[in-house]
A and B are shown apart, each in its own frame.
Chain A
Amino acid sequence: MLSRVAENIYWLARYLERAEDTARLLSVNSNLLLDLPRATKLGWSEIIAITGNDELFDELYPNRDEASVLSFICGDLRYPGSIISSLMAARENLRTARDVIPREIWEEINQLYLSVREQVESGITPRKRDVFLNRVIRSCQTVNGLIEGSLSYTQVRTFLMIGRQLERADMTTRIIDVRSANLLPRSPGELTPFENIQWMSVLKSLTGFQMYRQHVRLRIRGPDVLRFLLQDRRFPRAVGTSLERLANALQSLPRHELALNEVETCRQHLAAADIAVLASEPTRLHSFVDEIQLDFTELHDAIASTWFAKPVDATQLQSQ
Chain B
Amino acid sequence: MSNVNWEDYSAQGFYDELIAGPGKPRPEAAMLCDYLAKLDAAELSAHKTAAEVAIQLMGITFTVYTEGNMIDRAWPFDIVPRIIPLAEWQKTEAGLKQRVQALNMFIDDLYHDQKIIKDGIFPAEILAQSVNFRPQCVGIKTPHNVWAHICGSDLVRDQDGTLYVLEDNLRVPSGVSYMLENRNVTKRVLPELFASGLIQPVDDYTSQLYEMLSSMSPRQGEEPTIVLLTPGIYNSAYYEHAYLAQQMGVQLVEGSDLVVGDDDCVYMRMIDGLQRVDVIYRRVDDMFLDPEVFNPESTLGARGLMRAWRKGNVALANAPGAGVADDKVVYAFVPQIIKYYLDQEPLIPNVPSYLCMFEDDRNYVLDNLDKLVVKPANESGGYGMMIGPHASKKERKKFAELIKANPRNYMAQPTLALSTSPTIVGTNMEARHVDLRPFILSGENIFVTTGGLTRVALVKGSLVVNSSQGGGSKDTWIVDLAGN
Contacts and interface: CB of A to CB of B under 8 A. Distances in A.
Given A309-B256, A320-B274, A103 B58 contact: yes
Given A103-B58, A312-B269, A2 B242 contact: no
A283 interface: no
A155 interface: yes
Contacts of A96: 232-233, 254
Given A4-B256, A99-B245, A309 B269 contact: yes
Identify whether the interface residues of A are mostly helix, strand, loop, or mixed. helix
Interface in A287-309: 307, 309
A312 B266 CA distance: 12
Nearest to A310: B269
Count class of interface residues, chain A? 20 to 34
Contact of B269 (A2, A99, A107): A2
Contacts, number: 66
Given A92-B233, A309-B257, A98 B242 contact: yes
B233 A319 contact: no
A316 interface: yes
A6 B246 CA distance: 16
B252 interface: yes
Identify whether the interface residues of B are mostly helix, strand, loop, or mixed. mixed
A183 to B, nearest CB: 36
Interface in B258-308: 259, 261-263, 267-276
B251 interface: yes
B214 to A, nearest CB: 19
A320 B257 contact: no
Contacts of B262: 314, 317
A99 B246 contact: yes
Contacts of B267: 312, 317, 320
Contacts of B257: 2-4, 309
A255 interface: yes
Contact of A6 (B233, B261, B271): B271
A275 B272 CA distance: 40
Contacts of B57: 107
A1 interface: yes
Nearest to B228: A99
Nearest to B243: A99
Contact of B252 (A3, A99, A254, A312): A99
Contact of B59 (A2, A103, A320): A103
Given A96-B233, A319-B273, 4 more contacts: A4-B256, A92-B233, A107-B59, A320-B261
Interface of B: 57-59, 232-233, 238, 242, 245-246, 251-254, 256-257, 259, 261-263, 267-276
Q: Rank and list the top 7 A-B pairs by shortest CB-CB distance, nearest first.
A: A99-B246, A254-B272, A307-B271, A3-B269, A317-B261, A312-B259, A99-B245
